[in-house]
Amino acid sequence: MSFQSLGLSDALLKAISKKGYTTPSPIQEKAIPPVLEGKDVLASAQTGTGKTAGFTLPLLHLLSENPKAKYRPIRALILTPTRELAAQVYANVREYSEFLNLRSAVIFGGVNQKPQAATLRQGIDVLVATPGRLLDLQNQGIVSLKRVEIFVLDEADRMLDMGFLRDIERVIKSMPEKRQNLMFSATFSKDIKKLAHGILNHPVQVEATPENTTVDAITQKVYRVAKGLKTGLIIKLISEGNWKQVLVFTRTKHGANRLTEKMMKSGITAAAIHGNKSQGARTKALSGFKSGRVRVLVATDIAARGLDIPLLPHVINFELPNISEDYVHRIGRTGRAGASGEALSLVSADETSFLRGIEKLIEMKLPVQIIEGFEPDPNASTAPIKQGQGRQQRSPRNNSNNSNRNSNKKNNSRRPKRNSDRRN
């Protein structure tokens, strides 16, 4: 299958070849034709599958085929749960529309609204937005969605996890009833199905499982270690292994900060990325990591979700996630596309039940190693860490754009009950 045979315009094919893509990914193969036919689509796909191009390419094709008024009302709205994802989707829209006469913009919270408002006033065809800022600007009369022809709801499951249902409903009410709808979600809970039922009109259903979550392709190992010795052990592993690009997961924002500071003190360049960091700080941390200036990126699940981080040789779980599926998503950051990857987990006694839950989910026992000098504490309690312990309170609404949840699940039927008190 080629991009040409999917029926995309020459201008789009040129942009695709500039990006270096040669063949469509499975989700692109499945989603692009029905979107081009004007149908509603319900797609099961997560980050890493090429889903963004799966909806962006046909969307741009449809808009450019049928140019409209000169003043450029917003004709396509792409709603995403987080600003990182919004920025990434927007970057893709820009690249794919390079040879088209279409204008696009992105709006999200946490930054000054003035430049966003100024761009919108000039008229744009495609808007990528997070719900909070979109509704703010709509209330101020800066955004009108009355001419939207195509609506994309990206990462719908995470939208619901983050408490955006009411916001989504409000956005939908402000658009014309007759429009094309595309909905992407990694999981399909009852709530998602209900949402899909309310939004989509006889949708074509497509599905793609990401290549990067095949657990078998990744070497996994558990280091049993006393809680207080974890920092020493991670520094030893990174320094002695001379690892250059390591993604480390912690459960909390404070944990991420603390670990980053300790790494820096021991001479390892590190940066933290989580919901309390400003947009600028997050962008800087990510670009430093991508360019190799920063050796270690310490992230919470929510901050890492949706990040376009290329193939990584090492992922370390400084702490195990309490949601087993988050483990699968974390380690899916390594061993992509057949490249070798290693996922290590530092596990203390109080994480034993998390480890068991993960092993049950991935249906394998993880090999355990103990490093001399970093032994587990034989007297430590195996009682699980209490949720919310030592964490910050957060309100779902205030948190709308500066945090996201890792809910990138492959199999919803195995998804544990969520703890509403869980924080990242």
User: Which residues form the interface with ligand AMP (CB under 6 A)?
Assistant: 21, 24-25, 28, 47-53, 308
Q: How far is the CB of 138 from ligand AMP (least distance, A)?
A: 27
Q: How far is the CB of 92 from ligand AMP (least distance, A)?
A: 7
Report the phi/psi class of residue 200: left, alpha or beta, with left for phi > 0 and alpha for psi in -120 to 50.
beta
Q: How far is the CB of 213 from ligand AMP (least distance, A)?
A: 12
Q: How far is the CB of 47 from ligand AMP (least distance, A)?
A: 5
Q: How far is the CB of 327 from ligand AMP (least distance, A)?
A: 20
Looking at the Cβ atoms of 50 and 132, the one nearer to ligand AMP is: 50
| End-to-end alpha carbon distance in the chain | 41
280: amino acid identity, one letter:
G
Looking at the Cβ atoms of 53 and 218, the one nearer to ligand AMP is: 53
Dist. CA 89–CA 379, nearest whole Å: 49
Looking at the Cβ atoms of 25 and 44, the one nearer to ligand AMP is: 25
Looking at the Cβ atoms of 10 and 177, the one nearer to ligand AMP is: 10
Give the torsion sign (CA, 418, 325, 399, 82).
negative
Q: How far is the CB of 186 from ligand AMP (least distance, A)?
A: 11
Q: How far is the CB of 148 from ligand AMP (least distance, A)?
A: 22
Distances (CA, A) of 232 to 211, 244, 381: 34, 18, 21
Looking at the Cβ atoms of 19 and 244, the one nearer to ligand AMP is: 19
Looking at the Cβ atoms of 50 and 321, the one nearer to ligand AMP is: 50
Looking at the Cβ atoms of 305 and 314, the one nearer to ligand AMP is: 305
Looking at the Cβ atoms of 8 and 263, the one nearer to ligand AMP is: 8
The structure tokens 């045979």 sit at: 5
Dist. CA 183–CA 152, nearest whole Å: 6
Cβ proximity of 137 and 117 under 8 Å: yes
Q: How far is the CB of 6 from ligand AMP (least distance, A)?
A: 11
Looking at the Cβ atoms of 51 and 75, the one nearer to ligand AMP is: 51
Q: How far is the CB of 412 from ligand AMP (least distance, A)?
A: 19
